[in-house]
């Protein structure tokens, strides 16, 4: 509970800071034509995902995921899963639960375009060592996430190349977690894949994929404070 309190407090402080800095500026119109600007609706997101080096403390300490440049359909799918409880994380469940379907669609579209365009080769420049190569083949990661781990075959699947390695490790472990009301992810495909491996093997996979060039970025919040 203490860690959750600090996480929620950090979100609140970040939101207040963002709101205060935006005073005196005309809000951008909502993509849906509503009265609430996209900046106002993404303020909770920016409190974690737009701060370089920001770390979550639940279920363990790790860097929050990079979401700028991620597929809009994947972001929407993830937020919907948090809202429904298919992904268990108290902070994300509370945030996603406060969003309408239109909020989720607009926020997802916003972050999908925030990082700009990055052109990647079809295969990673950095090749895995023999151990990781064997793990990748066993997991068959490229069959879903693409040969460069940034071109998933379905837009509801994530780009994972260059994602924070410690986040990838925590996410992979979450697919192995069962019967825990506070953590875990209910995806049968990923669950079956992750359960084949030890945690050390999952960490090796996460470290390699996280070391690759990717399209995902953290766009610092200070960018939105410039006049």
- Position with higher pLDDT, 2 vs 186: 186
Query: Does residue 24 register a pLDDT over 70?
Result: no
Q: Are 213 and 120 in contact (CB under 8 A)?
A: yes
Distance in angstroms (rounded) separating the CA atoms of residues 67 and 88: 18
The Cβ of residue 108 has, within 10 Å, a number of other Cβ atoms equal to: 22
Distance in angstroms (rounded) separating the CA atoms of residues 67 and 115: 9
Helix (H, G, I), strand (E, B) or coil at 39: helix
Question: pTM of the prediction?
Answer: 0.82
The predicted-structure confidence for 131-169, as pLDDT tens digits, reads as follows: 999 999 999 999 999 999 999 999 999 999 999 999 999
- Structural tokens at position 172: 């992979």
At 60, which CATH number? 1.10.760.10
Number of domains in the chain: 1
Q: 187-191, long-range: CB within 8 Å, 24+ apart, which pairs?
A: 187/86, 189/144
The predicted-structure confidence for 200-217, as pLDDT tens digits, reads as follows: 999 999 999 999 999 999
Q: Is the peptide bond before 125 cis (omega within 30 degrees of 0)?
A: no
Element spanning 185, H or E: strand 184-185
How far lies 188's CA from each of 78, 192, 203, in Å?
15, 6, 20
Query: Does residue 94 register a pLDDT over 80?
Result: yes
Q: Which residues pair with 217 in a beta bridge?
A: 68
> N- to C-terminal Cα distance for the chain?
39
Q: Which residues pair with 184 in a beta bridge?
A: 88
Averaged confidence pLDDT in the chain: 86
Given pLDDT bands bounded at 50, 70 and 90, which one contains residue 223? low
Distance in angstroms (rounded) separating the CA atoms of residues 14 and 9: 9
Strands 87-88 and 62-63 turn out to be unpaired
Q: Which domain holds residue 65?
A: 2-225
Region 29-58 average pLDDT: 82
Given pLDDT bands bounded at 50, 70 and 90, which one contains residue 36? confident
Element spanning 88, H or E: strand 87-88
Helix (H, G, I), strand (E, B) or coil at 87: strand
Tell me the Ramachandran region of residue 54: left when phi exceeds 0, alpha when psi lies from -120 to 50, beta otherwise.
beta
């Amino acid at each position: 509970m203490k860690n959750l309190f600090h996480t929620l407090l950090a979100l609140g402080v970040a939101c207040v800071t963002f709101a205060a800095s935006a005073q005196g500026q005309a809000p951008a119109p909502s993509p849906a034509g509503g009265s609430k600007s996209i900046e106002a609706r993404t303020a909770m997101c920016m409190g974690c995902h737009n701060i370089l080096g920001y770390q979550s403390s639940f279920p363990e300490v790790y860097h929050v995921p990079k979401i700028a440049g991620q597929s809009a359909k994947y972001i929407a799918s993830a937020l919907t899963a948090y809202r429904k409880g298919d992904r268990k994380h108290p902070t994300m469940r509370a945030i996603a639960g406060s969003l309408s379907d239109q909020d989720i669609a607009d926020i997802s579209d916003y972050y999908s375009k925030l990082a700009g365009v990055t052109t990647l080769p079809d295969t990673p420049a950095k090749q895995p060592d023999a151990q990781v190569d064997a793990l990748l083949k066993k997991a068959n990661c490229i069959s879903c996430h693409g040969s460069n781990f940034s071109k998933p075959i379905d837009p509801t699947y994530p780009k994972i190349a260059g994602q924070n390695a410690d986040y990838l490790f925590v996410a992979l472990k979450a697919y192995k977690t069962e019967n825990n009301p506070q953590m875990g992810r209910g995806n049968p495909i990923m669950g079956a894949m992750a359960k084949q491996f030890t945690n050390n093997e999952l960490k090796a996979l996460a470290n390699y994929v996280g070391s690759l060039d990717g399209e995902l970025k953290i766009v610092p919040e200070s960018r939105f404070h410039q006049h």
